Structure 1
């Protein structure tokens, strides 16, 4: 009873906040480091059954969270170590013990499930390089956390051993290297901006194409220019290039054929899958290189019937 009262006096709201922050940021960092490892594996070892497993957006979000969370974890860790040196009893506080054992439990369960998953897929004959690497990624992170806190529990002195400090430095350097490498597979912020603008160009061209087909269906002829698509009732007006403000190029090549052209800043194809989503089955129709690209389109009169070709059905009374 006396020990509990003593700990209550030693552990204040600040200590509770710092302990929860320390372990909370640890969990977040571990989860997103594994996520980043998975994206590396998806990038270098493409899944033929799911070519969209690699996501630049996921990489960017993961890097952003790690950059925001990891420094605070390191900062709070240093604060707690100073507190433990000043008041060694804080290191033996019940709250810290509970959080430490909870962390050990989560890390242990993760390692066991990870190993069980490996054994299951091995017995099921579905082992692949991608799968083994992902299992190793989870085992490395969870095993590292498990080893570190098991070692920490066995310590009898408040000072952090040199070996533990060295391991922490290696872990931090490794995470920083992984984060830095992520910029090479996700592209620079400038490249991301160019991709978004190109995605808008694709969307604009798709909308213009739909309006051209609709115009042909209603009037039986292709519009002579994009300005003919302007509709004061529906409010539609052919958009211009989002970056330059220049109208998209439109050219009639035949009665049923036309071209739409735009100048792109990046290359997007079905091979790299950048900016694509699994449900976009027709996305390959808009593959383009860097620079000016023209898309040739041909209207199938049997598929897109013109209203002028529809025969009036007589009504008998």
Structure 2
């Protein structure tokens, strides 16, 4: 049995025997358990006079949901990437007096093709997720959902920080052209949208934990 499981079992038996939470905390602290470990073990059981103790809902892992959220994550990533890529091509076309290269045409066609595939897929999966959460709020406790959500927050945060870094560097280097500013704004808008979406989703997930 894992130490965390042993601790949870001990807390359960102590609560059944009528010990108060303060007594349990003191006993475990004297035995060398860290305060955070004791708090987590006590948080496993609801504060109620009902016997036996009532377990609180805990996060869970599902292979089916791992597949769903991984595919949704890829669809979002491809959508965000190709929105930026297509936007860069359009900005360069607009700002440049040079003839459009065949490479640029291929790049734009590829981005448009990717958006036609992945953007509707992401919207469909998002709609499916919203309906599933409405039918079964316990899905908010999915550990897989939280992991992919926080990974998306991490990556979008890096994009925003990189955007700010690039802006400061260009400003100090004297390279702050209109084309560069438009590209920075595009990256910031896409990364900010992703960050805002998942920030709300993760706040909802933590409230439902």
TM range (shorter): 0.5 to 0.7
Runs of at least 4 residues off by over 4 Å: 1-6, 50-54
Output the CA distance in 1 between the equivalents of 2:189 and 2:59: 39
Q: Which runs of 5+ in 2 are unaligned?
A: 6-54
Q: Does 1:35 align with 2:94?
A: no
- How many angstroms does 1:14 deviate by? 2.5
Q: Which has the higher contact order (CA 8 A, sep 6+)?
A: 2
Q: Find the partner of 1:133 among 178, 182, 204.
A: 182
Larger radius of gyration: 1
- Partner Cα distance (1:6, 1:33) in 2: 34
| CA spacing shift, 1:130–1:6, aligned 2, 3 Å | closer
Please give the alpha-carbon distance, in whole angstroms, between the structure 2 residues aligned to 1:47 and 1:121: 22
CA contact (8 A) 1:41 1:133 kept: yes
Alignment of 1:185-224 (within 5 A): none
Q: CA deviation at 1:38?
A: 0.4
Contact 1:42–1:54 (CA under 8 A) maintained in structure 2: no
Please report how far the alpha carbon of residue 81 of structure 1 lies from its aligned counterpart in structure 2 after TM superposition. Answer: 1.6
- Listed as ranges, the matches of 1:72-91 within 5 Å are 72-91=121-140
RMSD: 2.6
- Cα distance per residue 1:238-265 (max 9 Å; x no partner): xxxxxxxxxxxxxxxxxxxxxxxxxxxx
- Larger strand share, 1 or 2: 1
**CA 1:33/1:4 → structure 2, altered by over 3 Å: closer, same or farther?**
same
Shift of 1:7: 2.0
Cα pair distance change 1:29/1:65, threshold 3 Å: same
Question: CA shift at 1:155, angstroms?
Answer: 2.7
Q: Can you list the C-alpha shifts for 1:47-87, whole angstroms capped at 9, x where unaligned?
A: 76x97497111111110111011111111112222221222
Change (3 A) 1:82 1:32: same
- What is the rounded CA distance, in whole Å, between the counterparts of 1:128 and 1:6 in structure 2? 49
**Equivalence for 2:65:** 15
Q: TM-score if structure 1 supplies the norm length? A: 0.45
User: What whole-Å deviation, never above 9, does each CA across 1:142-200 have from its counterpart, x for those lacking one?
Assistant: 01111111122223778xxxxxxxxxxxxxxxxxxxxxxxxxxxxxxxxxxxxxxxxxx
Deviation per CA, 1:211-245, whole angstroms, max 9, x where unpaired?
xxxxxxxxxxxxxxxxxxxxxxxxxxxxxxxxxxx
Q: Any stretches of 5+ residues in structure 1 without a counterpart?
A: 159-317
Sort the Cα spacing of 1:29 and 1:103 in 2 relative to 1 into closer, same or farther, 3 A. same
Partner of 2:94: 44
**Secondary structure of the corresponding residue to residue 96 of structure 2:** coil
